[in-house]
Chains A and B, each alone.
Chain A
Amino acid sequence: DAGITQSPRHKVTETGTPVTLRCHQTENHRYMYWYRQDPGHGLRLIHYSYGVKDTDKGEVSDGYSVSRSKTEDFLLTLESATSSQTSVYFCAISGQGSNQPQHFGDGTRLSIL
């Protein structure tokens, strides 16, 4: 298995609170991604990173921010959580080149009440 660890694995929080999810990799891969997975939808890209301090928005980035201060860590922050952000969040990594498969962590199940 690819060395990807997501934390926490489960979290329940209240609307309006800030939440930070962590993705840690041991593969030294350049690219890291955050997705959300909801019933009836495929995985949707929130943000991605192509290097330390280099990040960009995906298709569903509103309400989310990211940071990457080290190659191995990619943080996803919900500044003020809303119920619509209840989802399962996956981190993925990939090596150099557009034809390298992405490998995923086991996800964080986030419930916002």
Chain B
Amino acid sequence: GESVGLHLPTLSVQEGDNSIINCAYSNSASDYFIWYKQESGKGPQFIIDIRSNMDKRQGQRVTVLLNKTVKHLSLQIAATQPGDSAVYFCAENRMNTGFQKLVFGTGTRLLVSP
């Protein structure tokens, strides 16, 4: 079936490195994508989103890239800090209506070493 997935379940980086977390999606009709960060014992926290009419969007230390040709999404975190350690997952919206039918990936754990 269709799914949103992540290639790497765990990513370990050194403090100060740049991190790249990848996500593949299968529905070419999806028009909206979101990255979330989830720390232990907390709910998912919105990081950044991107619409399908864009290829790139930047936030504070984060950049999301969307490649619709290969249905691939990535989250880049610049100068990764220990506080960035968490599970990151992407979500795609498969309905272009007021109601969001988000499909979530299972997540990648980012471990940042000092």
Contact = CB atoms under 8 A, between A and B. Distances in A.
Interface stretch (B11-19, B55-63, B71-79, B89-97): B89-97
A42 B32 contact: no
A2 B105 CA distance: 22
Interface of A: 4, 30-31, 33, 40-45, 48, 50, 90, 94, 96-107
A27 to B, nearest CB: 13
Interface residues of B, number: 29
Given A42-B4, A104-B44, A104-B45, A94 B100 contact: yes
A98 B89 contact: no
Contact of B98 (A31, A44, A90, A102): A31
A96 B98 contact: yes
B81 interface: no
Interface string B93-109: 10111111111111100
Contacts of A31: 98-100
A102 B42 CA distance: 15
Contacts of B83: none
A97 B49 CA distance: 14
Interface in B8-50: 31-32, 34, 36, 41-46, 49
